[in-house]
């Protein structure tokens, strides 16, 4: 993915800040806890520290019960015993005991790549009514909303039965059922899918294994009608943040069927100096603003100095934007110091990314 080369050099996509105060992982966690999920497993890649630091005990999502409702699973060191590298599929295989010992009848698989506010209770109810082996969540949308990822569309019959995945080039419709990569099935079937996929040695990602299972087992679709965005590229991440400047989108995503929770940091409110000029912007806690911010999103603990103009930009956490800086269509990575008199202009269809700086800084 394009995002993994830039914004996610030192952290997983799920840890990316969003909408001033959130992280992408907040959305699947909130969807699960709102549905009353009793046991949640977070399967991570090697860069898991930022995820663990954000979620910790899960208390901000009411997941710190005495039964231990939240579990973290990082990949093992040695995957060579499976032949080729199975990527994330091996992590699920090595930790199937989590599913087996959870005593859960059903499993819901979802990730942080798809932003949505979904009622998973309704998904399970639909799954039971259809008597499906697998239920896949989809959204009927314009192809442009899912075009960057191949095989995202569903080959679907009129009664909602799903035959499999199809390449977007094979469909002629302007509005298509886009796979949101959210699956519901019996726990026993999930275990079978993972074990068989590793044994076959044909696919290396859980997503690929589930795509094969959709074609193999009785699968039905569950239509989601709320706000949805797939974070598959720099532009998609940029667009999703910019969408939150519209009240209707922000209300639909953050307060749809339930509220979205996040880690509480108890920061001081944003400070606006005498030269501050915010207009149509979302500005996080702990910020110090002395410049002009228009149609932009500024995450927590950012300092914007005098004479600076930010337009159509996203500033991630802990940044310092010096004096007389001009940024337009720019994403500034976490912890970055932008020197005074810097001018950077990207494009709406190709925002410029200032990568996260690895050295610490102090406010001058």
At 38, which CATH number?
Answer: 3.90.550.10
Q: How far apart are CA 174 and CA 200, in angstroms?
A: 36
Which of 194, 219, 254 is the endpoint of a domain?
254
Tally DSSP H helices, then E strands, for the chain: 10, 27
Domain co-membership, 282 together with 143: no
In a domain, 266, yes or no: no
In a domain, 31, yes or no: yes
pLDDT score recorded for residue 3: 46
Which of 198, 224, 254 is the endpoint of a domain?
254
Domain co-membership, 345 together with 221: no
In a domain, 226, yes or no: yes
Domain co-membership, 276 together with 246: no
Q: How far apart are CA 337 and CA 115, in angstroms?
A: 29
Beta bridge partners of 321: 304, 338
In a domain, 176, yes or no: yes
Q: Name the strands in the sheet holding 352-354, side by side, starting at the edge strand that comes first in the sequence.
A: 282-283, 297-298, 314-315, 330-332, 352-354
Structural domains in the chain (count): 2
Mean pLDDT by 10 residues, the chain (364 residues): 57 90 95 91 84 87 71 72 64 94 93 96 97 95 56 69 70 76 97 96 91 93 94 93 97 91 88 96 96 97 97 96 96 92 94 70 40
Q: How far apart are CA 197 and CA 211, in angstroms?
A: 11
Domain co-membership, 234 together with 288: no
Domain co-membership, 179 together with 73: yes
Domain co-membership, 161 together with 299: no
What letter would DSSP give residue 349? Answer: T
**Domain span including residue 210:** 2-254
Which of 201, 227, 254 is the endpoint of a domain?
254
In a domain, 81, yes or no: yes
């Amino acid at each position: 993915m394009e995002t993994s080369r830039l914004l996610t050099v030192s952290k997983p996509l799920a840890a990316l800040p969003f909408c001033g105060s959130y992280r992408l992982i907040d959305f699947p966690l909130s969807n699960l806890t709102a549905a009353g999920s009793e046991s949640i497993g977070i399967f991570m890649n090697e860069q898991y520290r930022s995820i663990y630091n954000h979620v910790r005990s899960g208390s901000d999502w009411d997941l710190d019960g005495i039964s231990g409702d939240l579990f973290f699973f990082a990949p093992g060191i040695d995957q060579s015993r499976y032949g080729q590298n199975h990527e994330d599929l091996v992590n699920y295989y090595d930790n199937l005991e989590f599913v087996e010992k959870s005593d859960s009848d059903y499993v819901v698989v979802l990730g942080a790549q798809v932003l949505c506010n979904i009622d998973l209770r309704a998904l399970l109810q639909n799954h039971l009514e259809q008597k499906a082996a697998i239920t896949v969540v989809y959204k009927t949308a314009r192809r442009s909303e899912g075009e960057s990822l191949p095989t995202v569309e569903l080959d679907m019959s009129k009664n909602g039965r799903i035959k499999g995945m199809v390449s977007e080039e094979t469909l002629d419709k302007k509005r298509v059922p886009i796979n949101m990569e959210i699956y519901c099935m019996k726990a026993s079937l999930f275990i079978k899918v993972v074990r068989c996929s590793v044994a076959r040695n044909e696919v290396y990602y859980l997503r690929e294994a589930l795509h094969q299972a959709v074609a193999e087992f009785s699968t039905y679709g569950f239509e989601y009608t709320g706000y949805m965005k797939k974070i598959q590229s720099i532009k998609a991440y940029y667009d999703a943040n910019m969408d939150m400047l519209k009240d209707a989108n922000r209300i639909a995503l953050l307060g749809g069927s339930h509220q979205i929770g996040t880690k509480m940091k108890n920061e001081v409110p944003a400070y606006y100096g005498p030269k501050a000029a915010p207009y149509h912007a979302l500005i996080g806690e702990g910020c110090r603003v002395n410049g002009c911010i228009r149609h932009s999103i500024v995450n927590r603990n950012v300092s914007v100095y005098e004479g600076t103009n930010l337009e159509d930009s996203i500033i991630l956490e802990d940044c310092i934007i010096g004096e007389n800086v001009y940024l337009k269509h720019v994403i500034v990575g976490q912890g970055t110091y932008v020197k005074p008199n810097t001018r950077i202009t990207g494009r709406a269809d190709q925002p410029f990314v200032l990568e996260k700086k690895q050295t610490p800084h102090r406010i001058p």
